[in-house]
Amino acid sequence: MIKELILYPDERINIASADVRHFDDELFTLINDMKDTIEFHHADGLAAIQVAIPLSLVVAKDSDGEWHEFINPRILRVKGKATSIETSLYLPHIEEEIPRHEHINFIYQDRNGEQHSMQAHGEFGFMLQRKFDYTFGGTFANKLDRKSKKRVENRLSINGSNGEFNASSNISKREYFKSVISKLLFFEGIFLFTPLFNISKETMQSLYSYSIFATIASLILIVGYLVYAKYEASRVISCTGCQVVSFTAVAIKYFVITIILFTGSYFLLNTA
């Protein structure tokens, strides 16, 4: 059965795949489906995550047309640096130069769970490196620098796939507090420059009213941030010490900025 591919900007591609633990019919069916999907797309290989299954499994076809099934692959040794020009079904119409290794030694399990080792080089080796990377989360875009990533994003959006290599779902909700505070304070900061221009007293006074509002709102949000961050830290028993340290530092930073901006507004904008 041909499986549906996940395409950019579907963030599931970033999920690090779990090791295959059950070598059963379900796995064999998945392998067959992946072969069908590869044939259908005239591709040379697929990682299971490309068909939305987070398992460490790669199915590939070598230049002789022979099928290979690599379960839980691990590259142990690499030799030589090379650059390969690569495409990916996940990133339609994108071609990029990616740094790879000329030669790899790796181990993997077969469909019976037996461990084997193998060597690969050249194009087949590059393809396997790309596919094995998928099983640990992420595409070849991870190997690009920030600028090239942006360029690829832009090209994809021209082609109609809007998005970014961003896993926003992974970001804590407390970031929203920070984002709102930053925006409130940003405008307050901008307004501090208005006395440089010829602006009526009434306008200045209403800008000052905004400053008062922004200051009060920021202070409330900082408290909200602290309370929420504390709640979030207690939700999972993790290194609470590290988390308390980091969010307290953030709260202090915003508090200091709020106070400085308000002091500025009080002296520069308050005409009453």
Q: Provide the binding-site residues for other proteins, judged by CB under 8 A.
A: 11, 14-19, 21-22, 54, 72, 74-77, 105, 107, 115, 117, 133, 136-138, 142, 165-172, 236-246, 249
Look at the block and give the residue holding tokens 């989360």: 137
Cβ 24 to other proteins, closest distance in Å?
9
Distance CA 127, CA 106 (A): 13
Cis peptide before 54 (omega within 30 of 0): no
Cβ proximity to other proteins, 104 vs 268, nearer residue: 104
Cβ proximity to other proteins, 250 vs 261, nearer residue: 250
Nearest CA to 211 among 168, 267, 138, 150? 267
Cβ proximity to other proteins, 29 vs 117, nearer residue: 117
Cβ proximity to other proteins, 16 vs 190, nearer residue: 16
Cβ proximity to other proteins, 42 vs 235, nearer residue: 235
Cβ proximity to other proteins, 63 vs 168, nearer residue: 168
Task: Give, rounded to a whole angstrom, the gap between the first and last alpha carbons of the chain.
Answer: 75
Q: Are 5 and 41 in contact (CB under 8 A)?
A: yes
Cβ 130 to other proteins, closest distance in Å?
13
Cβ 17 to other proteins, closest distance in Å?
7
The tokens describing 63, both together, are 């230049």
Cβ 73 to other proteins, closest distance in Å?
10
Q: Are 67 and 38 in contact (CB under 8 A)?
A: no
Distance CA 14, CA 201 (A): 54
Cβ 181 to other proteins, closest distance in Å?
17
* Maximum CA extent, the chain: 84
Provide the pairing of β-strand 91-109 with 57-61.
unpaired
The tokens describing 251, both together, are 């709260």
Cβ 54 to other proteins, closest distance in Å?
4
Cβ 49 to other proteins, closest distance in Å?
9
Cβ proximity to other proteins, 42 vs 81, nearer residue: 81
H helix or E strand, kind and range, residue 96: strand 91-109
Nearest CA to 72 among 142, 150, 157, 135? 135
